[in-house]
């Protein structure tokens, strides 16, 4: 045809098998955590719940800790919107109340406790990485707006996430949204 070549259109598959396997494994792990103790959780049990062979899970995640850290990371990514109330105080109060509400969910707590128990520091990091990014976004926006005495992210995380996560993980009752809002004046003065 006049020296022209026709190229076949490229097709991309949304998701694909890898995404389906990841979703099935995550779902199985979350269902098993919601239905029983975390110490009974094993990769073969999760694989059976997901309908895949255990070697598929081991090949992708390696250990139960790595799998649970991935489940936690996925669970805590993008679930909480960074508020924009017009002031850092308002943003942090609304955000802290949202985090408190999230941490009151028994399924969320089960994932957090299992990830920390099985993956240690990596599991803990998976539970707070997105929260740190959200904090940094609010703090940076306040700095750019000319607000003074804006704490750094570490100070804000210590003052807000520290108590929230401590109560959720180790306490009998996670903090309420109203209690969480009360943490902000202690941070900002």
- The whole-number average pLDDT for the span 22-47 is 89
Q: Check pLDDT > 60 for residue 1.
A: no
Q: Which two structure tokens, joined as six digits, stand for 114?
A: 């299992």
Q: Which two structure tokens, joined as six digits, stand for 43?
A: 């990769």
Helix (H) and strand (E) counts for the chain?
10, 0
Q: What is the pLDDT of residue 185?
A: 96
d(CA 14, CA 139): 35
- How many other C-beta atoms lie within 10 A of the C-beta of residue 176? 14
Cβ 89 vs Cβ 184: under 8 Å: yes
Fill in the DSSP letter of residue 159. Answer: I
Cα-based torsion angle of the residue sequence 22, 28, 30, 35 in order, rounded to the nearest 10 degrees: 180
Q: For residue range 118-134, what is the model confidence (pLDDT) as tens digits?
A: 888 888 888 889 999 99
Domains assigned to the chain: 16-62 (1.10.10.60), 75-188 (1.10.357.10)
- pLDDT tier for residue 36 given thresholds of 50, 70 and 90: confident
Q: For residue range 149-188, what is the model confidence (pLDDT) as tens digits?
A: 999 999 999 999 999 999 998 888 899 999 999 999 999 9
Q: What is the pLDDT of residue 61?
A: 93
**DSSP, residue by residue, 95-147:** HHHHHHHHHT-HHHHHHHHHHHHHHHHHHHHHHHHHHHHHHHHHHHHHHHTT-
Q: What is the pLDDT of residue 187?
A: 95
pTM over 0.85: no
């Amino acid at each position: 045809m006049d020296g022209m070549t026709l190229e076949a259109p490229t097709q991309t598959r949304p998701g694909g098998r890898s995404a389906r396997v990841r979703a099935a494994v995550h779902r199985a792990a979350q269902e098993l955590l919601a239905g029983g103790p975390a110490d009974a959780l094993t990769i073969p049990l999760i694989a059976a719940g997901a309908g895949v062979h255990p070697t598929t899970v081991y090949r992708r995640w390696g250990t139960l800790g790595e799998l649970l850290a991935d489940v936690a990371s996925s669970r805590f990514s993008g679930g909480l919107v960074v508020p924009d109330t017009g002031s850092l105080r308002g943003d942090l109060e609304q955000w802290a109340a949202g985090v408190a509400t999230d941490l009151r969910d028994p399924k969320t707590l089960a994932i957090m406790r299992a990830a920390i128990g099985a993956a240690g520091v990596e599991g803990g990091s998976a539970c707070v990485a997105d929260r740190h990014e959200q904090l940094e976004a609010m703090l940076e926006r306040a700095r750019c707006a000319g607000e003074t005495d804006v704490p750094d992210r570490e100070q804000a995380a210590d003052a807000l996430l520290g108590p929230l996560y401590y109560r959720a993980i180790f306490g009998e009752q996670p903090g309420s949204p109203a209690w969480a809002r009360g943490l902000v004046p202690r941070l900002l003065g």
